Amino acid sequence: MIRKKSDMRGEVRPSMRGGKGTSTILHMVEIDELLGKARLAGYVIVPVGGSVGNHVHDPDAEIVIVSSGKARAVENGKAYEFNVGDVMFTGAGGSHSFENIGDTPLELIGIVIE
């Protein structure tokens, strides 16, 4: 399967996970195509000044990769600058959040695995 970014289904999420602004998820692969191995494979686009609020991953886990922009990420209470190419893996009851601290939309690739 090949899916062009322009053909991905968009989902608008106001105050995603209690965050600021309205984020958008572009579903790279739909949940019924993930073979029961994951719940999400998508681009998460966070507007300038927006954020994804703190949330826990248990029993699932999430891999997050910055594909565009600049973020402040907080994982398990510790803050990090999160830039293009950086990767975060959060699971086993860990928590994380992201805030767009750049001047362009922040694009994260998020994969939530079971």
Residue 18, SS3 per DSSP = helix
Whole-angstrom distance, CA of residue 52 vs CA of residue 96:
9
pLDDT in tens, 20-68: 999 999 999 999 999 999 999 999 999 999 999 999 999 999 999 999 9
Percent of the chain with pLDDT over 90: 99
Percent of the chain with pLDDT over 70: 100
Whole-angstrom distance, CA of residue 34 vs CA of residue 38:
6
Decide if 1 is inside a domain.
no
Decide if 36 is inside a domain.
yes
Token pair recorded at residue 36: 């029961």
Q: Count other C-beta atoms under 10 Å from residue 8's C-beta.
A: 16
Per-residue pLDDT, averaged over 95-114, amounts to 97
pLDDT at 40: 96
Is the preceding omega at residue 59 within 30 degrees of 0, hence cis? Answer: yes
The DSSP letter of residue 8 is: S
User: How many structural domains is the chain composed of?
Assistant: 1
Decide if 93 is inside a domain.
yes
Q: How confident is the model at residue 5 (pLDDT cuts 50, 70, 90)?
A: very high
Q: Give the domain range for residue 17.
A: 7-113
Q: What average pLDDT does the chain have?
A: 96
